[in-house]
A and B are shown apart, each in its own frame.
Chain A
Amino acid sequence: MSFNNLSGQLMTDSNGVTYIISDTFSVLYPGEQEPSVYEWRDLTSLRVGDGTITISTSDNTYSIKADAFESREQFLSAKAIAVSGAAEAKVPYSSDVELLPDKGLYISRDIPDNAVFATGEYSIKDIKSSLLLLLIGKAGRILWCVGILGGLLALLILHLTIGFNETNWWYLLIGGFFCGVGAVALVYIVMMIIAKLKYAAVLSSYAKHNDTVTFAVCSEGFSVCESDIYSPNDIIRWNIKDTYIETGSMYIITGKSHSVIWIPKSLFTREDQNRISDLLALNLSEK
C-alpha cells in the first residue's frame, strides 16, 4: 500500500458517526461499542468526488461528506489512503476527472535525490492553451479525415444536383473545398465545446482549492502530488504505452489507463526542463 507517510484519518460527521480511513476502513456509530471494520479487499466499490468519499461494502454504503473533514489536507490524506488501499486490493474505484494523477497509480518506490523537483501551482491559462494543442494533437488526423470526406461529399452533392461541366467545374471544386473547410471548423468547434465542458469542472475545482503541487521526475518515474500529502517514497512508474506531448508551457503525459497528466515547464529551470525532456523521450513515445 502506498502513501505510508500519511497517518490514519479519523472523521466524525454531523450525525456523530466516526469514520477511520487507515490500513483498514472502519465505522463507529455513536453509542455503539463495536466498530464495523473492513479490510480494503472487503469493499465492493469506492467513489471519490470533490469533497465526498463513498465507500460501498457488501452490506452497506458509507458516504463521508465534506462536513466530516476538518481540513483540505485531511480530505486529501483520506482520499490518497483509500484510493491506494482500493487499488492494491484491486477493488473497483472511480473518481471525478482531476488535474492531478490518480493516487491509485502510485507504488511504493523511493524517489531518488537526483530527481528533478519543483513545487508550485498550475497556471490555468497555461493549461487552457495546452488543452487546445492537446486537442489538435489528439484530433488532428480525425480533422483531416473530416475535411477530406466533407469536401468529397460536397462535390458529390454538387455533381448530383448541378452537375459538372466544362464551364462550372472550377467553381464547384472551390465550393467543395470550402465545404470541407467548413466541416473541419464545425467539428473543431464542437470538440472544443466538449473539451471545455469536460475540463471546466476540473479547472474550476483546482482553482477553488489552488493546491500547491510537488513535481518530481526521475528515471524510475514521476510524481505529481499535492504538496500537503506528497511522499518521496511513492512514484508513478513510466508506462511504455503512454505518450507525451511537449508544448511551449507544458509537458503532457497521456495514456489509456489514466487521465491527462500536466507538468508545467515554468516551475523548472532551463537545465531541469532539458532533463525532463530527455527522461520523457527515453521512457515514453512522443505523440
Chain B
Amino acid sequence: MSDRLPEVTADHVTVDDGDILLFTVKNGLSKIGVCQMDFATGNAYCLYSHDEPVLTFSEDGASDYSDKTFTERGSVAASSTIAKVIDEAFDSLRGGSAPEYALPQVLRLLGDGLYAVSYLKAYPTTGENMFFWSGYGVPKQLKYSSRYVKLIAEDKNYSAPFLIASHRPTQYDPSLVKKASQTSKRGNDLFGISLHISGLYSLLLKGHHAAAAAVIEDEPFYTFQIQRISDIWKIKDEDGRQTAVGFSSASFKIPFSALGRDQIRTVLAARKYPVPETYRVLKSKLCVVKNSNAKSIPNQLNTFAETCPDADMVASAQGIGELTKPMLDALLAGSTTLDDKVIISDNYYSSITAACNYLRYHSTDDFINFALSVMRNPELSATYSYVAGCLVKYTDKRIKTFLEEVLASNDAGYDKIMAVAKRYIDNYDPHQTVPPQDYLKSLPDYVPKEKEKIISLDSTKEMIAAGEGAELIAKHMSKMMHDDNGEKQ
C-alpha cells in the first residue's frame, strides 16, 4: 500500500450542462476498483472490494458499442472496514449532509482520478424489468452496457439509471425492507449510493433494501452515483483532426479549461485498470467462489419491478430529443423524415421501435394510441411483431379490443401476432395483484438482534486458571449446538 496519504478534494465545476460536483482523488487507496483479470477463457474485468471479487464482466466485442456480459460474484461489504465507511457515508447523507461532506471517505477507497457525483433516479433492475437480485450470479449480457449507446449520439451525455446488486441475495431480509421503507430516506426520497460501471449500469454500493422498498411501494428510488471521468473527450478541429479538449464519461463532459493543472495531471497519470495488491487472492477466490443463489427472492418483487422502464425505453428516451405529433404522423405515414430532416433514424424499423420505446417511457397512453395506429396500418406490417410484443406488456381494454378484432379477422397480415394475441386475451385480468401497501405491511417488523456476549480472553484465562475450563468448553459446545439447531429450524 502506498505510504502517501489519500487526498480527496471536492469542487463544483460549471459546464454547459450545468453544475457538476467533482471529486479529485490523489493517492487513492484503490480498495474498490476494476482490474483486468486473466481467465482461461480470456481476459475479463473484475470489480473488487479489497480482496473480494464483486462483479466480473467481459466485453463481447472490441467495439465501443459492444455490450458486456456481467456476473455478480460477491459483496462489496465483505470487508468490515469498507462496509463501515459506506454505512457512515449513507447515514451522513440520510441525515441531510451534502455529498461533498459525506462522500470523501468513500472516494478515498477508490483509485486516483476524477469522479463526478450526481443524484439521479435509478431502477433496481438490470434493464429488463427483473428485480436486480433475481438473476444474481447468472452471467447476463446487459443491453446498452457498452461505452456508447446506439440510440444516443456519441457527443451526447446520458444517465445510467440501472443498478446491479453488490450484496448477495442471502443478505435479503424482509424485515429490513420494511425498516428501510421508513428510515433509508433523504428527505422523502428512498435512496442509495452507487458506482457507475459502464453504459446504462451502475453498481449499488448501499441501499439494497431501500431499493426493494421503492419497488414494492412503486416509489422512485434515487442514488448518489459516483462516476469516474477518465475518457479523453475529443472534437474535430478546423483541419479535421481529432483534438483532445477535456475528459468525458457516460454522463459528463468536462473541458480542460474547467479544471486545475493538478487535476488534469492526476487524471492523465492514473491508469485505467491498475493491478491491485490483492490480485492473487481475487483470482483464487474467483476460482472457488460459487454463485450464491441459495436464498430465493420473493417472486412478488419481480412483479413489482415490471413497472420499471427497460433499457430500450431509457435509451430511446435519452437518445430522441423530441417526438412531436407531426413527427409521429409522418412515421405512421411510412416516412422516416419530416421537412427533410431525419426524425429518428434512416431505418424505418428502427424508427418505429425507438418511437414506441420513447412513448412507453414518457406516456403509456400515447404509446398505446401510437402502437394501435401502427398495428392498424397494413403498410407497417414489418413492425407488427415488435409493436405487439410491447403492447401486450400493458393491461388495457383498448389493446384487448384490438386483439380480439385481430383474432376475429383472420387477416393473414396478422399471422405473426396471432399467438401473442390469443395468449393476451386468455390471460387478461385473470389474477389479482397484491396491493403494494398490503405487501409491505405483510413483511415482518425489524427486530434488532441481540449482540452476542463476548467472553474476553483475560476472563477465559482466569476461568481456566480457576479450574473452570471444562465448564467453559461445555458452555461453548452447548451454544454451538443450539446455534446449529436454530439454523436448521
Contact = CB atoms under 8 A, between A and B. Distances in A.
25 contacts: A4-B35, A4-B271, A4-B273, A4-B275, A5-B275, A7-B271, A8-B268, A8-B270, A8-B271, A9-B269, A10-B269, A18-B265, A20-B265, A24-B268, A28-B261, A33-B256, A35-B264, A35-B268, A36-B244, A108-B43, A110-B283, A231-B275, A233-B38, A233-B275, A233-B279
Nearest to A20: B268
A38 B256 CA distance: 14
Contacts of A26: 268
A33 B261 CA distance: 6
Contacts of B268: 8, 20, 22, 24, 26, 35, 37
Which of B268, B270, B275, B283 has the most chain A CB within a 10 Å cutoff? Answer: B268
Given A10-B265, A38-B244, 18 more contacts: A4-B35, A4-B274, A5-B275, A6-B271, A8-B268, A10-B269, A20-B268, A22-B270, A22-B271, A24-B268, A28-B264, A34-B245, A35-B268, A36-B244, A39-B232, A110-B283, A233-B36, A233-B38
Interface string A7-36: 111100000001010111010100001111
Interface of A, helix, strand, loop or mixed by DSSP: loop
Contacts of A231: 275
B274 A7 contact: yes
Which of B245, B256, B275 has the most chain A CB within a 10 Å cutoff? Answer: B275
Contacts of B269: 7-10, 20, 22
A26 B266 CA distance: 12
Interface in B232-260: 232, 241-242, 244-245, 256-257
Interface residues of A, number: 29
B222 to A, nearest CB: 32
B257 A34 contact: yes
A5 B264 contact: no
B285 interface: no
A37 B232 contact: yes
Interface string A134-159: 00000000000000000000000000
Interface of A: 4-10, 18, 20, 22-24, 26, 28, 33-39, 42, 58-59, 108-110, 231, 233
Contacts of B261: 28, 33
Contacts of A37: 232, 244, 268
B272 interface: yes
* A-B residue pairs, 7 tightest by C-beta: A8-B269, A37-B244, A34-B256, A110-B38, A5-B275, A20-B268, A26-B268
Contacts of A28: 261, 264-265
Interface of B: 35-36, 38, 43, 232, 241-242, 244-245, 256-257, 261, 264-265, 268-275, 279, 283
A59 B243 CA distance: 11
Contacts of B283: 110
A24 B43 contact: no
B6 to A, nearest CB: 14
Nearest to A2: B36
A18 B268 CA distance: 11
Contacts of A4: 35-36, 271, 273-275
Contact of A35 (B38, B244, B273, B274): B244
A40 to B, nearest CB: 11
A28 B265 CA distance: 9
A26 B246 CA distance: 12
A33 B257 contact: yes
Nearest to B269: A8
A177 to B, nearest CB: 60
B447 to A, nearest CB: 47
Contacts of B279: 233
Nearest to B255: A34
A101 to B, nearest CB: 20
Nearest to A5: B275
Contacts of A110: 38, 283
A199 B232 CA distance: 42
A7 B283 CA distance: 21
